[in-house]
Amino acid sequence: MSHVVVISGGLGSPSSTRVLSDDIVARLRESLALKGENLEATVVELRELAHPITDAMLTGFPTGELAKVIEKVAEADALVVVSPTFSASISGLVKSFFDILETGTLTGKPVLMAATGGTERHSLMIDFAMRPLLSYLGALPVRTGVFAATSDFGGPQAAALAGRVRQAADELADAIVGAPHKAREDDFVEFATLLGK
């Protein structure tokens, strides 16, 4: 049994961030099942912990439900982090959550990074904001990040988003079970499609 904690930073209910989180978990469950591994996923909606996170930043001590969430993060086999895009970066709430973690909490932990935003023009925020933060904290981000613009939900773009979710989830599953990910030919076709070639 693999235990994964999903950090969902959406502020609405429902939110596109949570929708993307659920899509990733569903694909990760399938990928792990193919490797003979079951998935136990804990989804954390940070908006429900906004006040405790602020209190922890002021006092230096997480308490109550927030302390339990941090314990689950420390014990997890891997993380999925999904943030809305604010000012071309991760949300302040997501950043604050990672700011209150003790040093070493994420060391060596595989992480799948994902984000939502109004337009694909912000897709590089995963590599320019999320990846440096998580790497600094000692986590091991998988190669493929998943960015979902509003237009990716439904319509002709949905298939491309599903492909990115599959690729990233497969990489995280490989990291969890300790197997190197083998690129498939259609991975390169999808990448070329994203580049418009």
Q: What is the pLDDT of residues 141-150, one digit of tens each?
A: 999 999 999 9
On the question of pLDDT at 70 being above 50, the answer is: yes
**Containing structural domain, residue 98:** 2-194
- Domain CATH number, residue 66: 3.40.50.360
CA-CA distance, 89 to 91, in Å (whole number)?
A: 6
Mean pLDDT of the chain: 91
Q: Measuring CA to CA, which residue among 160, 86, 80, 165 is closest to residue 125?
A: 86
Q: What is the pLDDT of residue 187?
A: 52
Count how many domains the chain has: 1
Q: Which of 2-11, 25-34, 120-129 has the lowest mean pLDDT?
A: 120-129
CA-CA distance, 172 to 76, in Å (whole number)?
A: 13
On the question of pLDDT at 183 being above 70, the answer is: no
Q: What is the pLDDT of residue 186?
A: 52
- The pLDDT of 30-36, averaged and rounded, is 97
With 0.85 as the threshold, say if the pTM is over it: yes
CB 111 within 8 A of CB 136: no
**Dihedral sign for Cα atoms in the order 161, 74, 107, 135:** positive
Q: What is the pLDDT of residue 196?
A: 53
Instruction: Tell me the sheet residues that pair with 43.
Output: 6
Q: What is the pLDDT of residues 105-132, one digit of tens each?
A: 999 999 999 999 988 888 899 999 999 9
- The pLDDT of 66-91, averaged and rounded, is 97
- The pLDDT of 169-189, averaged and rounded, is 72
